[in-house]
A = this chain, B = another copy of it.
Amino acid sequence: MSKTLISSPVIKRLPRYYRFLGELEKQDVIRISSRELSEKMGLTASQIRQDLNCFGGFGQQGYGYNVSTLRKSIGEILGVDSKNKTILIGAGNLGKAIARHIDFPKRGFELIGIFDSNPEKTGTTISDVNVLHIDDIQRFCNEHNPVCAVLCIPREAAEDITSRLIALGIKGFWNFSHYDLRIDHDDSIVVVNVHLTDSLMTLSYGLNSALNQN
């Protein structure tokens, strides 16, 4: 079955399957039924069967799913074995934490350079990756051809640099700046926005509702 037929909600659930199956693997679980998997993940069993059928169905009637095989297959679909060259823009608190905290190679990415506009930061390294001045970015991209950029810069700066990065060959953006990056002119550019404060405000709503009930 062609990958292009996979719907976006299914794709969004795949990393969760991958994570849960990884946990099961660590616990030496060899096989699991869709019912058991559904209980662990808080989805219905039929939802899980439907999701996994999108990829040609890895389950066997009466046996369930082989945990390692299923995890490996989902990993391949997600591309976790890729080595997409990636740069990170913005070596502030968040950028540093992302560079140090995220295991890029395990997710299909290779972090090859970090850029900042502050000359005091250039020349240092973060997690063994060199921090370079933002003015070096054109030379660096021409030389190393990164395809992905992590944006850990304020909104205005992110808006300014996006089209420059696209012109330099960047095809994917992991965007932590406080706005929804949308690339209107090119379908071949992929953007995943991370809005930490949106998530915090969702918690604020839920927490206030819970506190007011008591």
Q: Hey, what's the 0/1 contact readout for A69-102 against B, CB within 8 Å counting as 1?
A: 0000000011110101000000011101110111
A1 to B116, CA, bound (A): 48
Q: Which residues of A are at the interface with B, using a C-beta cutoff of 8 A?
A: 3-4, 11-12, 14-16, 18-19, 23, 41-42, 77-80, 82, 84, 92-94, 96-98, 100-104, 107-109, 147-148, 171-174, 178-180, 182, 188-190, 192, 194-211, 213-214
- Count copies of this chain in the complex: 2
Instruction: Judge whether A209 and B4 touch: CB under 8 Å.
Output: yes
> Quick one: which of B3, B12, B101, B148 contacts A207, CB cutoff 8 A?
B148
Closest chain B residue to A11, Cβ basis: B205
A201-B97 contact in complex given A172-B206, A190-B206, C-beta closer than 8 Å: no
